[in-house]
């Protein structure tokens, strides 16, 4: 294969050769691009977090089974897992404007199809199209920030990403619960679509191309191996709950056996395909033709940060998925009330992001990661004490404190991980960060939901009532999340803020 080479786009915004702390962080054009990307990412994540609350309504309105309805979430996760690893190549091959327009066009088209969907099959297709656009947006945002923001200001800019990551998942369920109770599930897409179309139109007009592009050829075999590898693992993880579900009768046993077969086959295909994918990338990266360049892992700091991000994602996404189940099944509160309980924590996490970013810029990682990991782990242990008599206000308070610990962890981890790489690897690093979050989040959700369901079912079989059984299941799930968080405290001492690289650092080929 021919080696890649770079070429500057004719309408690119040139990256300044140097930046001083007294000068503006970004030019007017660069700031406009960043804010548009932040807004687009917010809308995409907001949409992603609305579907979980809508599942019960969709089961009734579309006359489908719970298993079929779950595919609206599973298909979204599968698409994300397949597309995100490819974005490292795409962001180097195509311009910022082209990738933004593609991402928002796919997302807008999927939202429109969902709004008009006459039934479940079309709605499922819409979710896949939406996910294709969403998968591109976050790596595009992260790569753009690392490309245009001077090293001494990356923390505060990455703090703005924390606002997007934290506020959207909190507002999503609350907004969804309100719309479902008052209008119906189509209103979710009706609210998101105009915002997405405005972002698409404004971005297509205002976004300029940042940095440089390459003429690297795409390796079709790598795309196929990536799809089967990452997709197989995520799908296999999504089948864990069904494979371990308890139930009586031949029908339940047959369903459990089918899920077990699906789990084993999917994970086997995923692991084998991923092994071949890694082998293929190691060969292609020698001539700079890799779909996902694994040389990013030569940085020990990047690798350690990815490990921390993965553990955080397992504990956080797993716990945040169990909380609504616990509150609705055990405390018997509504979906809207559940959303309102997690809202204060998300607001704290989002509002604290820029301040935490400034602390990172000035003092580095340890002053944030060490207390942040201790707070997050300690609060997860507090969660293990929740039972059927726990006041709702105390859950909101604990969730808020947990969110502060997470904010002190995610922002420095995102920034330090990508800052550990040479500029030519930012796009690949962003893809790895996104992939690690997706796989670890899927694993956390699958494992904690499985523990919650299995322990609850076992308690019912032993004679406990459903509320007590749900409390036992929640405590067991939160215990697993708390155990997973413990290594974070140790790892926090080893991750450092990379020495600020010259902003005009040469791009390696």
Q: Which pLDDT score, from 0 to 100, does residue 51 have?
A: 74
Q: Which pLDDT score, from 0 to 100, does residue 263 have?
A: 83
Same domain assignment for residues 102 and 227? no
Domain boundary among 261, 290, 319: 290
Q: Which pLDDT score, from 0 to 100, does residue 62 have?
A: 86
Same domain assignment for residues 459 and 374? yes
Confidence of residue 277 (pLDDT cuts 50, 70, 90): very high
Same domain assignment for residues 131 and 65? yes
- Residue 13, classed as helix, strand or coil, is strand
Please report whether residue 508 resides in a domain: no
Please report whether residue 21 resides in a domain: no
Q: Which pLDDT score, from 0 to 100, does residue 411 have?
A: 84
Residue 262: is its pLDDT beyond 60? yes
Residue-wise burial string across 366-383, b where 16 or more C-beta atoms lie within 10 A, e elsewhere: eebbbbbbbbbbbbbebb
Residue 111: is its pLDDT beyond 90? yes
Q: Which pLDDT score, from 0 to 100, does residue 320 have?
A: 79
Q: What is d(CA 307, CA 315) in angstroms, rounded to the nearest whole number? A: 13
With a CB cutoff of 8 Å and minimum separation 6, the contacts of 269 are: 228, 232
Per-residue pLDDT tens for 361-377?
888 889 999 999 999 99
Same domain assignment for residues 196 and 47? yes
Please report whether residue 415 resides in a domain: yes
Domains: count for the chain: 3
Per-residue pLDDT tens for 174-212?
777 778 778 888 988 998 899 899 989 988 888 776 666
**CATH code of the domain in which 170 resides:** 1.20.1250.20
- Residue-averaged pLDDT of the chain: 82
Same domain assignment for residues 241 and 138? no
Please report whether residue 439 resides in a domain: yes
- Of 25-29, 248-252, 287-291, the range with the lowest mean pLDDT is 248-252
Please report whether residue 16 resides in a domain: no
Residue 122: is its pLDDT beyond 90? yes
Q: What is d(CA 448, CA 445) in angstroms, rounded to the nearest whole number? A: 5
Per-residue pLDDT tens for 317-361?
888 778 878 887 888 887 677 777 877 887 887 788 788 888 988
Residue 509: is its pLDDT beyond 90? no
Residue-number span of the structural domain to which 144 is assigned: 28-217
pTM of the model: 0.80
Per-residue pLDDT tens for 65-88?
766 777 887 788 788 888 888 888
Angle at 82 between CA 78 and CA 88, to 5 degrees: 145
Please report whether residue 420 resides in a domain: yes
Per-residue pLDDT tens for 461-486?
888 888 888 899 999 999 999 999 99
Please report whether residue 18 resides in a domain: no
Same domain assignment for residues 130 and 202? yes
Same domain assignment for residues 327 and 244? no
Please report whether residue 13 resides in a domain: no
Q: What is d(CA 230, CA 82) in angstroms, rounded to the nearest whole number? A: 6
Domain boundary among 202, 217, 232: 217
Q: Which pLDDT score, from 0 to 100, does residue 242 have?
A: 57
Q: Which pLDDT score, from 0 to 100, does residue 16 have?
A: 42
Domain boundary among 194, 217, 240: 217
Q: Which pLDDT score, from 0 to 100, does residue 9 have?
A: 39
Per-residue pLDDT tens for 198-252?
989 988 888 776 666 677 678 899 999 998 998 888 888 777 765 555 455 555 5
Same domain assignment for residues 49 and 144? yes
Max intra-chain CA distance, the chain: 72
Q: What is d(CA 225, CA 279) in angstroms, rounded to the nearest whole number? A: 10
Same domain assignment for residues 296 and 357? yes
Angle at 393 between CA 390 and CA 398, to 5 degrees: 85
Same domain assignment for residues 467 and 339? yes
- In degrees and rounded to multiples of 5, residue 212 shows phi and psi of -125, 160
Q: Which pLDDT score, from 0 to 100, does residue 7 have?
A: 40
Q: Which pLDDT score, from 0 to 100, does residue 174 have?
A: 73
Same domain assignment for residues 491 and 413? yes
**Helical H runs in 94-219?**
96-116, 120-148, 154-182, 186-206
Residue 116: is its pLDDT beyond 90? yes
Same domain assignment for residues 102 and 130? yes
């Amino acid at each position: 294969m021919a080696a890649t080479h770079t070429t500057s786009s004719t309408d690119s915004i040139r990256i300044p050769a140097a930046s001083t702390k007294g000068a503006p962080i970004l030019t007017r054009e660069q700031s406009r691009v960043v804010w548009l990307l932040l807004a687009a990412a917010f809308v995409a994540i907001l949409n992603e977090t609305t579907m979980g609350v809508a599942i019960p309504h969709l089961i009734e309105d579309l006359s489908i089974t719970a298993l079929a309805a779950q595919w609206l979430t599973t298909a979204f996760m599968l698409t994300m897992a397949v597309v995100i690893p490819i974005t490292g190549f795409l962001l180097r091959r195509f311009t910022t404007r082209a990738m933004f327009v593609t991402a928002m066009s796919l997302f807008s088209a999927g939202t429109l199809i969902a709004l008009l969907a006459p039934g479940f099959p079309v709605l499922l297709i819409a979710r896949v199209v939406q996910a294709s656009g969403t998968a591109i947006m976050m790596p595009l945002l992260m790569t753009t920030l690392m490309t245009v923001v001077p090293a001494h200001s990356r923390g505060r800019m990455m703090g703005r990403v924390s606002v997007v990551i934290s506020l959207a998942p909190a507002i999503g369920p609350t907004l969804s619960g309100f719309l479902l109770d008052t209008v119906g599930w189509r209103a979710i897409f009706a609210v998101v679509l105009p915002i997405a179309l405005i972002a698409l139109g404004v971005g297509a007009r205002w976004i300029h191309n940042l940095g440089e592009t390459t003429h690297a050829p795409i390796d079709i075999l790598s795309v196929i191996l990536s799809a089967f590898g990452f997709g197989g693992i995520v799908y296999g993880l999504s089948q864990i709950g069904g494979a371990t579900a308890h139930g009586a009768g031949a029908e339940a046993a047959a369903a459990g056996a089918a899920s077990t077969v699906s789990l084993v086959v999917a994970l086997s295909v995923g692991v084998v395909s991923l092994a071949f994918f890694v082998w293929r990338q190691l060969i292609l990266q020698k001539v700079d033709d890799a779909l996902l360049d694994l040389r990013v892992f030569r940085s020990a700091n990047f690798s350690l940060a990815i490990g921390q991000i993965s553990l955080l994602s397992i504990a956080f996404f797993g716990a945040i998925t169990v909380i609504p189940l616990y509150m609705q099944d055990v405390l018997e509160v509504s979906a809207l009330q559940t959303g309102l309980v997690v809202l204060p924590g998300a607001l704290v996490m989002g509002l604290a992001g820029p301040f935490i970013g400034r602390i990172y810029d000035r003092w580095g990682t340890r002053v944030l990661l060490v207390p942040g990991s201790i707070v997050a782990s300690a609060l997860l242990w507090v969660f293990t004490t929740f039972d059927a008599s726990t006041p709702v206000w105390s859950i909101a308070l604990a969730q808020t404190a947990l969110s502060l610990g997470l904010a002190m962890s995610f922002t420095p981890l995102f920034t330090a991980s990508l800052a550990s790489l040479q500029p030519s690897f930012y796009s690949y690093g962003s893809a790895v960060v996104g992939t690690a979050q997706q796989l670890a989040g899927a694993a956390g959700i699958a494992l904690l939901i499985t523990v919650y369901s299995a322990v609850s079912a076992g308690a019912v079989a032993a004679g406990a009532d459903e509320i007590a059984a749900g409390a036992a299941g929640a405590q067991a799930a939160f215990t697993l999340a708390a155990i997973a968080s413990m290594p974070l405290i140790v790892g926090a001492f080893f991750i450092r803020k990379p020495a600020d690289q010259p902003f005009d650092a040469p791009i390696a080929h």
